[in-house]
Amino acid sequence: MEKFLHLFSNISYFHVNMLFILGIALFGGTIGGRLFQKMKVPQVVGYIVIGILLGPMGIKIINTEMVNVLQPLTYFALGLIGFMIGGELKKNVIIRYGKQFFYILLFEGIFSFILVAISVGLFGTYFFKNANLGWGLGLLFGSIASATAPAATTDVLWEYRTRGPLTTTIFGIVALDDALAIFLFAISASFATRIMGTTQNSLMISILHPLYEIGGAVLVGAISGTILVKILHKYNEEERVLAFLIGIVLFVLGISLAINVSMLLASMVLGAVVVNGAPNISKNIFKLLAGFTPPIFILFFVFIGSKLNFSQVNPLVFGLVLVYLVSRTIGKMSGAFLGAYVSQAPKTVRKYLPFCLFSQAGVAIGLSIVAAHLLPEDLGNIIIIVITSTTFVVQLIGPSCVRYGISKAGEIGLNITEEDIIKKIKIADIIEENAPLIKQNTSLDEILRNFSKYPYFYYPVVGNDKKLIGIISIDSVRHVFRDKDVGAFVLAEDILEPVQIKIGATASGLEAKELFDKYHIDFVPVVDENDVVVGGLEERIFYRFITRKQVEIEQKVLSL
């Protein structure tokens, strides 16, 4: 194994061009995601694992220099993620769940902050033999612990098409959680640096800065969102709309970086303004964006994995990692449960939300880097290593825990459209078992009895071998059924209509829809693998079945 890894040790940025890196990251990430999906593990874990394998801990194809060069791509992915999360914050959702969001956010954020601060403070005081240093680190780690990674968490929700009170709550919490973390960090950093004697800023500046960062992000997102809504009302061509959308997201990210405000929060506000300012148009906008983002998200998570490096983990750092993980997990779970209980959230939220808030990533790592700049180099490195190490752990277990929670809550597969149902169903699911068929020598009287007995307007006509000969519709017999004398001599083969189009029982609903649309027909005979007729499918019955499925899903969501 060492000889194999040695082959890659001399590969550098100059030996491998960036297009190759993007290609192998996208290709490898896609395969990794699919493999983990087959193991019933969220695909995002597969993306991160591939990143680890390609990075410093694996075959070293991706190094820190490459990741830094590709930083704009990471920002772009975060902007798209923030925009899509903001799109979940509809006005009616805020009105209905606002109180619930507030209590849960407050409890899970504050509980994780307090428990981590106390645990790290005690641990640091004992091992560093310095109470000021220990409790200063405790405050910094506590504030960082309150952050929840929106990307990995929401990716699981999108992957499994979830919908329901738990899903709504998760979207609301991760959208607001980072703002709370930024605020807590600013206050904690101010006191921590004073306790450790490393401060350079006044207390007032330390308190006002997070207000500027949050307020500025809201302002940038709101103004940009208002402009985008006006544009969307003027244009409806998909290509142009997508160009405007990507352009405004990049604009928001660039402005946020330039004026030093939270670009993730600004992107979320942008999405929230769009979904509430143009509720009807925005449905197509987010659907259009969903088809554009998968490659960007795959690269984003692969590069997150490639950043992870644990070569500097020593026993002291390992102890801090363990203390941080345990106390943060307990704080998140207990806080989420108590917040849900106090806000009288639905039972599924109280029971399973505690499993859905473990992930941490960009914001936590970003805050750790800020903290490192406030402290001496050795202490700053410890904070970065601890947060990076814990990020690795929770990024691997967090998505699986989210999947467990949404699965137990019964919300998987409920966020589907008519198009999704059509793609998923088989023709055999729709047609009646032992469906009535008309043989070629059937009399008109018997044919009429079929029309009166069954709710169908069309019937396939078959020979003795049950192979298709043609079809009979209600219109086919309309001109003869009144004349009883003639009717006595009329057989099915006399009035059938020849037909060339048929569909297999194992075909998808999408194939049936394409036949209905392409040939403008109302009925298509259904055959098995031996070309034997097993029934028929009417367009009106097809869409009635789809509507019934949608109603069933809607009722299930309402019952949660």
Predicted local distance difference test score (pLDDT) of residue 463: 85
410, 348 in Cβ contact below 8 A? Answer: yes
- Three-state DSSP class for 549? helix
Predicted local distance difference test score (pLDDT) of residue 224: 92
Residues 159 and 294 in one domain: yes
Predicted local distance difference test score (pLDDT) of residue 255: 92
Residues 440 and 294 in one domain: no
Six token digits for residue 450: 């079929």
Six token digits for residue 140: 């910094």
Which of 415, 450, 483 finishes a domain? 415
Residues 207 and 59 in one domain: yes
CATH classification of the domain holding 546 = 3.10.580.10
Six token digits for residue 542: 């097809």
Domain span at residue 486? 421-559
- Three-state DSSP class for 489? coil
Predicted local distance difference test score (pLDDT) of residue 338: 93
Residues 364 and 459 in one domain: no
10 within a domain of the structure (yes/no) = no
Q: What sections of 409-430 are H helices per DSSP?
A: 418-424, 427-430
DSSP symbol at 432 = P
Residues 263 and 238 in one domain: yes
> Distance of alpha carbon 311 from its chain centroid, rounded?
32
Which of 415, 449, 476 finishes a domain? 415
Tens digits of pLDDT across the chain (560 residues): 555 555 555 555 444 577 888 888 899 989 988 888 888 777 877 888 888 888 877 788 887 777 778 888 888 888 888 888 788 778 877 777 788 888 998 899 899 999 999 999 999 888 888 888 888 888 888 988 888 877 778 888 888 888 888 988 888 888 778 778 877 877 787 777 777 766 555 656 666 776 787 788 889 999 999 998 888 888 877 778 888 889 999 999 999 889 888 787 888 889 889 888 888 777 788 888 878 888 888 888 888 778 766 666 678 888 888 999 999 999 999 999 999 999 888 888 999 999 988 887 667 777 776 677 677 767 777 887 788 778 778 877 888 899 999 999 888 888 877 788 888 889 888 888 777 888 888 887 788 888 888 888 888 888 888 888 888 888 777 766 555 555 556 787 778 888 888 898 888 888 989 988 888 888 999 988 888 888 888 889 898 888 888 888 877 777 76
Predicted local distance difference test score (pLDDT) of residue 423: 85
31 within a domain of the structure (yes/no) = no
Residues 440 and 302 in one domain: no
32, 50 in Cβ contact below 8 A? Answer: yes
Which of 376, 394, 415 finishes a domain? 415
Residues 55 and 79 in one domain: yes
> Distance of alpha carbon 234 from its chain centroid, rounded?
29
Predicted local distance difference test score (pLDDT) of residue 485: 58
Sheet holding 458-462, edge to edge: 438-439, 458-462, 468-473
Those residues with Cβ within 8 angstroms of residue 384's Cβ, 6 or more apart along the chain or in another chain: 365, 368, 369, 372
CATH classification of the domain holding 282 = 1.20.1530.20
Q: Dump the DSSP string for 209-267.
A: HHHHHHHHHHHHHHHHHHHHHHHHHH---HHHHHHHHHHHHHHHHHHHHHTT--HHHHH
Predicted local distance difference test score (pLDDT) of residue 260: 82
6 within a domain of the structure (yes/no) = no
Residues 85 and 132 in one domain: yes
CB burial of residue 291 (10 Å; 0-12, 13-18, 19+): exposed
Predicted local distance difference test score (pLDDT) of residue 114: 92
129 within a domain of the structure (yes/no) = yes
192 within a domain of the structure (yes/no) = yes
Nearest to residue 47, comparing CAs of 151, 190, 120, 148? 151
Give the integer Cα–Cα distance in Å for 381 and 509.
Answer: 57
How many other CB atoms are found less than 10 A from the CB of residue 554?
12
7 within a domain of the structure (yes/no) = no
Handedness of CA 12, 16, 18, 22 (dihedral sign): negative
Give the integer Cα–Cα distance in Å for 429 and 101.
Answer: 40
Beta bridge partners, 471, equal 460, 497
Predicted local distance difference test score (pLDDT) of residue 324: 92
Tally of domains within the chain: 2
Phi-psi group of 96: left, alpha or beta (phi > 0 → left; psi -120 to 50 → alpha; rest → beta) = alpha
Predicted local distance difference test score (pLDDT) of residue 329: 92
Q: Dump the DSSP string for 88-104.
A: T--HHHHHHHHHHHHHH
Residues 345 and 319 in one domain: yes
Six token digits for residue 392: 């690795």
Residues 263 and 211 in one domain: yes
Predicted local distance difference test score (pLDDT) of residue 5: 52
Predicted local distance difference test score (pLDDT) of residue 107: 92
Predicted local distance difference test score (pLDDT) of residue 252: 92
Residues 410 and 433 in one domain: no
Beta bridge partners, 334, equal none
Q: Would you state the torsion angle of the CA atoms of residues 110, 115, 117, 120, taken in this order, to the nearest 10 degrees?
A: -160
Amino acid at 232: L
Residues 201 and 248 in one domain: yes
Q: How far is CA 307 from CA 9, 47, 190, 503, in A?
A: 17, 13, 29, 51
Predicted local distance difference test score (pLDDT) of residue 14: 47
254 within a domain of the structure (yes/no) = yes
Predicted local distance difference test score (pLDDT) of residue 87: 82
39 within a domain of the structure (yes/no) = no
